[in-house]
Structure 1
Amino acid sequence: MLDKDSFEMETEEYEAEFEEESLRDSESDVDVDNTFPVDPALLLSDKTRRVGSTEVKSGFIPSLFANVPPTIRFCNETERIEPLPLPLQKMMKWKMSSITPNVVKSAVLRSGFRLSDEGNDWLGTWSRHMKPVCFKAIREYQKINHFPGSFQIGRKDRLWRNLSHMQAVHSRREFDFVPQTFVLPADFLLFKRVFDEVSETKESKWIIKPPASARGQGIRVISKMEQVPKKRAVVVQKYIANPYLINGHKFDLRLYVYVPSHDPLRIYLFDDGLTRFASRKYSTSVKSLSDRFMHLTNYSINRYNSEYKSNNDSTACAGHKWSLKALWAYLKKRDVDVADVIERIKDLVIKTIISADSYVNVLTKANVRRKFSVHELFGFDVILDEQCKPYIVEVNISPSLHSNSPLDMNVKGSMISDLLNLSGFMIPDRKDMSSDGSSRKKSKLPKSLIFDRRVLPQGLSTDEKVKHQYFAQRHNDEQIRKNIVDLLTPDDLRILVETEDEFARRGSFERIFPTNQTRKYLKYFETPRYYNLLLNEWITKYTRNEDRGIALLNTFCRKEIHLQNPAVDTNHMWTQYQKLHGHLSYRENDNANTNGS
């Protein structure tokens, strides 16, 4: 490891140099020729160097493709990043909020960001959810950690309404991962009828939750009708009275789900998470229902129990909080089919996200300049019954990232650095950061290193609109749907390049949608979305030969086809392709690449 004193001394010298340079820059009122101090090609190298036993990585993650700018690299506390040149670091500002977690703050500082409480020239922020109209103020190079409308699964009442709608449209069997739920007072009479019917034959246990609370606030388990509020807004859910127990204790899982895009929909699941135990042994006795330490698993509640035992080792099956990986290892030793449990969890995550897809897309289209600017981390809480069948408990749109122990830090620190890498932050041009779109200072930042709006999805050309409409109208015809990747428009290329670059930066996240096995979920979308069809066919075609697909895209990127709008090259015009009435695909060999593009 790098000597601590040497590292701190180097950091202090660097910060002093940065502050001095920033002061000189801020005092200058004239045009400045900021000659860039480094060959840009060196910054686009993915090579690492060693300082002692520490591996130092480049400050940029280069794109897989030509003529696509790099993204800023983030790392966890055990890694180190080569500082980017000062002219670039001056553009790296992170807007702090009252809820910015320390784990996020630490990650952005390690990458060279400066923290700021004011101004609008920031690149990213981690803040509370906003009203949809507030998203209109976000500039196209900026990123905020929410989608407008994500409360459709973040609120317990909206989550149930959306999943209930999916059960009605498709089948209850396909969405059987949510316990029977009622939203009061609207469903009071219906709930009372069900309650009375169940109570005639067996003991009836229900869990009551406020619709928009978090961290266990206001939650209680009841068994009598008189305990149910008649006028106050609450969600009442059938209590899973037969949970899987470990050492006699009930537990739930906190899963980290990241959605960088809703159109096309892309969903990632982190490979680790938390297992949170109730700190008192479980009992089915009605007399125990008021014991929150027995029936609730929230750390924010159980930490107040004198019996609570902490766990600092992410690999240990000890105490009242484990890592998710530790749980999977424990269950495997007891012959539980962990792979099947994980697949069921992926299924419920995908279906839950899709249930709110139409709401989020409508609000995003109406309120966000660039889809690039919005992304979101969700905390999915899942419980296993005695047969290890997973049920969704709730979804958090601002999951707690407080790290109270080395275990928390290990899981959440790695997750956040991987998430920020996935999100794809880019250095903006100086003129983009000024309020009027201009700058008194000459921008000498190399174009190959900075944000280029042309590489992001943008307005469709007339030709591209025709293609979108053609396949959306024929989305149920499998033979026609396969032809969607036969001719790639500039817009198609931008979507595919973004998707492949993002996938290459995934770290310990797994992309669970789309994959070559997720075509079955397309039927759940309220509206067939062209980009979902495109990615489904692309991934299906190249899943066993990703390098060939990437090489094909790179051929077009070298010719800057992905930057065209509208297409200039007739080989990438859908209407020209239709006139030929052919269905020949691009052939991924040198001869075809030369003749076809």
Structure 2
Amino acid sequence: MDKRVTYCTDLEKSVIMSNFERRGWIQVGPEDEWNFYWSFTQNCRNIFSIDNGYRMNDNQIINHFPNHYEISRKDLLVKNIKRYRKELEKEGNPLAEKMEVVLPSGQVATRYVHLDIIPVTYVLPADYNMFVEEYRKSPQSTWIMKPCGKSQGTGIFLINKLSKLKKWSREAKIPFHPQLSSKESYVISRYIDNPLLIGGKKFDLRLYLLVTSFRPLKAYLFKHGFCRFCTVKYDTSVTELDNMYVHLTNVSVQRHGVEYNSLHGGKMSVQNFRLYLEGTRGRSVTEKLFADMHWLIVHSLKAVAPVMANDRHCFECYGYDIIIDNTLKPWLVEVNASPSLQSTTHNDRILKYKLIDNIISVVVPPDGIPDARWNKIPSVEALGDFEVLIDEELMEKEENGCRPTKNSRYR
């Protein structure tokens, strides 16, 4: 007997709806019996909240982990990566090796050799004194301030003087004393002021990552990411410090710019980016950059895996934002738990439709009916345009069988 699959969604986006409808699934409300829920993060948290007392059955799956914010809130991501590095250091793990680097000011700072994956970052107001200490080592440097809980470029600004931060603190009425808790915390990171430029413009990469389990860790990288470009040529002069069209790659910011091109939406596919790099820098350098980006993603996931509520009913698609500097070193800027499914161009629509289609194929068992008891090992055909980035369960099986695995480099 053919079982009817029901779905529920808080996001009435055509790329989602048309994927469900094409499968013959039937839409129901959140109060009804649903099998597959594509929910907002807040609604997912409500479902899992203790007060709610909602218990999912085996035929229900949902598109967020209960505490997804451990990786998607800027301050928590930083905290988890710092904790992960310290723990590896305590264990004497070679991954936590450090080295001394000379800063432009001539002062010496200590950096991680393998896990230097995020710019130097502090959470304000709590780390204010530590930030000042770091700032004084290289007072010429620029820093970027971001509110922890906001997205799409909201509330971000750059500073190059301590006085500017103090002035902002006074105006924002946020006293920088950890004892006094403020309503909103911010992260302040060393601004990557030597970004790789294409056509004189700054860009970042948006990569899509599907996680179906944190313990064991199972993550898949979507092959069709893209670069997001600023509309105005990059300029480090102080006069352009407040010009967000120069510094912020968010489409939500750039589409208001005079130079915005709605045809390509200021985007370039990852495939074209790879070809461009191979042509300008060579193949081996390009291969190394992509391997470094994979490394960065895997270790950001390993950093949060111990604190994630690993519920078998959950999966999640994260939007990774990565900036590459002109030495071809990738830096993790942030991770989004609800990457935009808004289609700004025709190509965007095709990409996002395929992304949703492939996600459903990976997270739903071969019989097409959601099942939380399923072992979450998709077939090669089901992966579509996803590639296995890491699967600790398969790695363990292969290690026991002593066969080499392409995942082994992440050990």
- Normalising by the smaller structure, the TM-score range is 0.7 to 0.9
Structure 2 contact 219–388 (Cα < 8 Å) conserved: yes
Structure 1 contact 101–402 (Cα < 8 Å) conserved: yes
Correspondent of 2:390 among 488, 494, 513: 513
Alpha-carbon spacing, 1:113–1:239, altered in 2? closer, same or farther (3 Å)? same
Q: Does 1:157 align with 2:75?
A: yes
Match of 1:261? 213
Moved more, 290-299 or 105-114: 105-114
Correspondent of 1:326 among 268, 272, 281: 272
TM-score, normalised with respect to structure 1: 0.57
Alpha-carbon spacing, 1:377–1:96, altered in 2? closer, same or farther (3 Å)? same
Correspondent of 1:206 among 126, 134, 143: 143
Alpha-carbon spacing, 1:533–1:331, altered in 2? closer, same or farther (3 Å)? closer
Q: Does 1:184 align with 2:124?
A: yes
- In structure 1, the residue corresponding to 2:196 is in which secondary structure? coil
- In structure 2, the residue corresponding to 1:290 is in which secondary structure? coil
Q: Does 1:249 align with 2:201?
A: yes
Alpha-carbon shift at residue 116 of structure 1 (Å):
1.8
Structure 2 unmatched ranges of 5 or more:
89-95, 97-111, 170-174, 177-183, 407-411
Alpha-carbon spacing, 1:272–1:208, altered in 2? closer, same or farther (3 Å)? same
Mapped to 1, the partners of 2:58 and 2:270 lie a distance apart of 36
- In structure 2, the residue corresponding to 1:404 is in which secondary structure? coil
Q: Does 1:405 align with 2:345?
A: yes
Query: Runs of 4+ in structure 1 displaced over 4 angstroms?
Result: 449-453
Structure 1 unmatched ranges of 5 or more:
1-35, 37-86, 313-318, 428-448, 458-494, 516-530, 545-597
Structure 2 contact 365–371 (Cα < 8 Å) conserved: no
Q: Which has the higher contact order (CA 8 A, sep 6+)?
A: 2
- In structure 1, the residue corresponding to 2:80 is in which secondary structure? helix
Q: AA paired with 1:215?
A: Q
CA RMSD of aligned residues (A): 2.3
Q: How many residues align?
A: 361
Q: Does 1:338 align with 2:247?
A: no
Mapped to 2, the partners of 1:205 and 1:451 lie a distance apart of 49
Match of 2:355? 415
The structure with the larger Rg is: 1
More helix by share: 1
Counterparts of 1:17-32 in structure 2, within 5 Å, are none
Q: AA paired with 1:270?
A: F
Q: Deviations over 1:429-452 (max 9, x none)?
A: xxxxxxxxxxxxxxxxxxxx8678
Mapped to 2, the partners of 1:115 and 1:405 lie a distance apart of 27
Alpha-carbon spacing, 1:135–1:397, altered in 2? closer, same or farther (3 Å)? farther
Moved more, 260-269 or 387-396: 260-269
Mapped to 2, the partners of 1:540 and 1:179 lie a distance apart of 38
Match of 1:359? 307
Structure 1 contact 264–532 (Cα < 8 Å) conserved: no
Match of 1:124? 36
Match of 2:325? 385
Alpha-carbon shift at residue 274 of structure 1 (Å):
1.6
Alpha-carbon spacing, 1:543–1:382, altered in 2? closer, same or farther (3 Å)? closer
Structure 2 contact 7–35 (Cα < 8 Å) conserved: yes
Mapped to 1, the partners of 2:329 and 2:22 lie a distance apart of 40
Mapped to 2, the partners of 1:413 and 1:540 lie a distance apart of 39
Q: Deviations over 1:322-377 (max 9, x none)?
A: 122121122122134221111101100000011111111xx33xxx4xx1x11000
Alpha-carbon shift at residue 537 of structure 1 (Å):
2.0
Alpha-carbon shift at residue 137 of structure 1 (Å):
2.6
Q: Deviations over 1:481-516 (max 9, x none)?
A: xxxxxxxxxxxxxx4xx42x344411111101038x
Mapped to 1, the partners of 2:366 and 2:394 lie a distance apart of 25
